[in-house]
Structure 1
Amino acid sequence: MTEATHTEGHMTEPHPTPVPSTATSGPLRILITGSAGFVGSHLVERFLNEGHTVTGVDNYISGQVSNTDLFRDHPRFTFIEADVSHGIPYTGEKLDWVMHFASPASPPHYQQFPVETLMVGAQGTQNGLELAHAHGAGFFLASTSEVYGDPHVHPQPETYWGNVNPIGVRSCYDEAKRYAEAITMAYHRSRGVNTRIIRIFNTYGPRMRPDDGRVITNFVHQALRGEPLTVYGDGSQTRSFQYIDDLVEGISRLMMVKYHEPVNLGNPEEYSVVEIAEVVKDIFGSGNIVFEDLPSDDPKIRKPNVDVAKRLLRMKYTNDVQLRLEILKEEWGKLK
């Protein structure tokens, strides 16, 4: 794709200092909302493996009980079933981090629960910030590339303000995350909360729900069922695809850096949707590709500018979608 030269909706570009180390200073006590979700469960696994103590919170609106069951008997894991929009009923020892990853994240889920999605982005974020403030803990917000909407700038840097339809069918998610970023920055500036914000671009890997509704999940499970692969529009719209391990690594590194502006986490390699369909078709030996109308407000282009992540976190990315899908083929085949 050709990079756009638009300058609308930009602010001054940040100049972060490179991180000297990604090592932790010792065992931490971490609370993760959305711990039964795709990304949240991988964070639980990472932190438990590193020797930290983790409290997970989820109400299973889009998370999976099976993800909680993976850690339920671990001696350093505690689970609280709760809707964080109504409060976070944590009464344990002093926390080092509150990590807010609770929210429906795929279009079918957040369009099914639009009010709940808005509330977890608004009230749920504030409840997490209040808990972090009370404990003197860091607060880590999982935001999204959807804050850029259907972008006029390509690839999208953190300094781009976005092109979002505030009343469209996707607005419940887009605007919830934009508000979540705003209140997170407000708590940092006015109350001194040690905050982090990431904007997650398309991520895939184990533990995604079969009905997730996003590109790779749709294609893989259609292929496993022997169905045609459904491409919306003409398939020329683009996406970048990040494997879950890379996202978790970026999150872990950002925790070790005092940097409070948003950071894009995503793979800068760009594919058209029809190109991904062809890759899945070849790997899984599936049938034809069929085309349907493009959904409302579906972005035409989506690719992160990761200059900040490279400078700040020393992140490196590889173009490995085909390799990762080969690895996942057996695991996802169990869901057939």
Structure 2
Amino acid sequence: MKKKDSHFLVYIASSASLAPERFECERLCAAAGMLTNGMVWQHDIVEYDWALVRRQIEMADAFLFVLGSEYGQISQTGISYQHRELVHARSLQKPVVALIKNTHDGSRQSEDARRLADFHAILMKEVPFRVWHLRDELSVHVNSTLQGWQRTNAGTWVREDKAPEISIPVAFKAAPKITVSTPRKSFQSPGKETINLLLQANVYRNGNLSLQRQTLEVREDQLWQGILPLLRLGISEERLRAQVENSLTPKMSVLLLGQHEGAHAVDDVRVERAQFNGILTTWRERGLVECSADNGRTLWTLPPSSD
């Protein structure tokens, strides 16, 4: 049973060629009192935003995968974007159901057809699935899937009228800039000492994902090469950590691909949040950075003495 004031959130993964089928899935979810998220990306218009997609999947209560007559555009991990989304949902142990269109055609020999056939085999072996041919069949499978999720899950989305009130300042009354004063030494340039970072990353092998953790030695001055321009402008801790993660991804890829035979891609490199916060605290105490609150946002910047 759903909690009284919550909604069940379903992430729908599909390709652009399945617009009518996707609409039917969204309609049936709405009829069942559920919310949906996920987007069909137009890759010729906007670049695929994996960070946004990942957050949407993590927010969802369940993952509905609708597969049609094509495998789909390939991501940098070597698998299609929708396949990658499915792998991430399974790594989070989300309830997953795949709705697979019956596209058997032995005469098709294209690369996409071969990938699609291989993907069918993976899905039928590893996740709950239903096969459909006509849209009416798809609707029946979607309804039965949603009913099963309703019986066994409670939903996490809170109704808007039950959400806590948030005080929003009037636009013309800008909040004053407040500097968080912390005792620190005079400014010192980043040194060549080594920082041992505990990182985690997704390693892809044969369409499957495994989460790997690895300690990486990084010189402090090299770490600063990518973040110095951002600190001059002021940046949030989340964006600063993301920049560090992006800069470490090539090195982590070489390391993990060498450790895991048959692996073909590494992505989603993460620095442990508590460790990164500790590094920032140390840098602030050394006078390398300072933290300030501006209009409700916490920003990390270079201290004036560094100019």
**If the length of structure 2 is used for normalisation, what is the TM-score?**
0.29
| Greater per-residue helix proportion | 2
| Greater per-residue strand proportion | 2
The structure with more radius of gyration: 2
